[in-house]
Amino acid sequence: MAKFNKLDQSDYYKLILRCVHCGFCLQSCPTYRVLGIEADSPRGRLYLTRAMVDKRIDIAKDVANHLYKCTMCANCEIACPSAVKYTDIMFITREIMAEANAVPLGAEQLVNTINNAKNIFMMDNTLRKDWVIYTGVEAPIKDKADMVYFVGCVTSYSGRIQGVAQAIASILNYVGEDWTLLKDEWCCGHPLKLEGATKEFKKVAEHNVKMIEETGATKVVSGCPGCCLALKKEYPEVLGRKLNFEVLHFSQILDEYIKKGKLKIPKFESKVTYHDPCELGRILGIINEPRRVIKSISDKFVEPIERGKEGFCCGGGGLLKVTDSQLSESIANKRLEMLIKTGAEVIISACPTCYQSLADATSRKNKALQVIDIAELIAQRLGLM
């Protein structure tokens, strides 16, 4: 409660007051679209937040259950005529909830897991590079290199997704890039930021930045939009300084290689569609690059209605997989329906979590649809895997 005492006069409160309760955001919100409950909508969550600041309700777990039942996809911000910065507000709110120990159990456990294991799976972090052994790809660990490949937890440890790491490594080798893995990569910490655990997030940021800067690399590439968001935007914010390296998503690197003629990729005959990961498309604004890559290999590219800045979430963001896995699955099912409507045989994404969510939804629906990551698709077309 203490933290809220001064907040009614703060900029944070002014941000909350911008909401005029018009409801234009409701239909863009995946959790509201599935549940139809006001408290699980952007407007409802803002109302609950304001009620806590006004001390009309307590900071408590039952409120947190609504506040964390949000994928932090930011689609409501696109729809909002009052320019409410919903996710900025929620990051601060979640910090306050975390300080008051009022977060859902799943989120609390995830923070403990990352603090202890340095990854989201409570795995031994020294086994983080085992995907190199499993896939048989060459992946260097050097003292110095021009580029660092930051792999991320999901890609490092999840069996099906390790193919993305194999694809990225094999393409970097194919073009002759001077690249390296980090000697000791930790979780990027984005889940900590999402929970509100700012102190822990800062520790992780300090470690990963030190590891990267020791290599002297000027570029860091990742296939995970969550890692890219952490490294590019959230690390400079939490560390309060500019970093000495550029952060790129692998779809941007592919786009650059194709433009420079470094990759000659055989055409792909199947009808394909693309799912924009929220953190990549809406939040980081990387919308055209993956499309240029796909169009360079496909004459049968079809778009879903909800795309680009207005792309619909896969249900995998905002810690929803650990706070409400059923809701996360229902959102993935809904997104899959939208993608099926395009008539595509192959769904391409550019995020390990979207890949998992959509591939699982495809299995639940028993649909003969292929879900593939953009890096995997290109590596396969090049005959590298």
Residue ranges that bind ligand SF4, judged by CB under 6 A: 19-25, 28-31, 42-43, 46, 70-76, 79-80, 82, 84, 86-87
The residue among 29 and 347 lying less far from ligand SF4, judged by its C-beta, is 29
Q: How far is the CB of 369 from ligand SF4 (least distance, A)?
A: 25
Closer of 17 and 239 to ligand SF4 (Cβ): 17
Which lies closer to ligand SF4 via its Cβ, residue 31 or residue 298? 31
Provide the token pair at 320. Answer: 């929803």
In the bound complex, what is the minimum distance in angstroms from residue 236's beta carbon to ligand SF4?
22
User: Secondary structure of the chain: what % helix, strand, coil (to 5)?
Assistant: 55, 5, 35
Q: How far is the CB of 376 from ligand SF4 (least distance, A)?
A: 27
CB closer to ligand SF4 out of 32 and 150: 32
Nearest distance from C-beta of residue 199 to ligand SF4, angstroms: 24
Amino acid at 107: A
Rounded to the nearest angstrom, the gap between the alpha carbon of residue 143 and the centroid of all alpha carbons in its chain is 29
Residue 15 · residue 95 · CB < 8 Å: no
CA distance 250 to 218: 15
Token pair 């229902």: residue: 330
- Give the DSSP H or E segment for 235: helix 235-239
Minimum CB separation from ligand SF4 for residue 60, in Å? Answer: 20
81 touches 22 (CB < 8 A): yes
- CB atoms closer than 10 angstroms to residue 9: 9
Compare residues 78 and 384 and give the one whose CB is closer to ligand SF4.
Answer: 78
Structure tokens at 72: 């932090």
State the DSSP code for 277: P
Q: Closest separation between CB of residue 37 and ligand SF4, Å?
A: 12
CB neighbour list of residue 163: distance below 8 Å, 6 or more residues apart: 135, 373, 376, 385
Name the residue nearer to ligand SF4 (CB basis): 48 or 111: 48
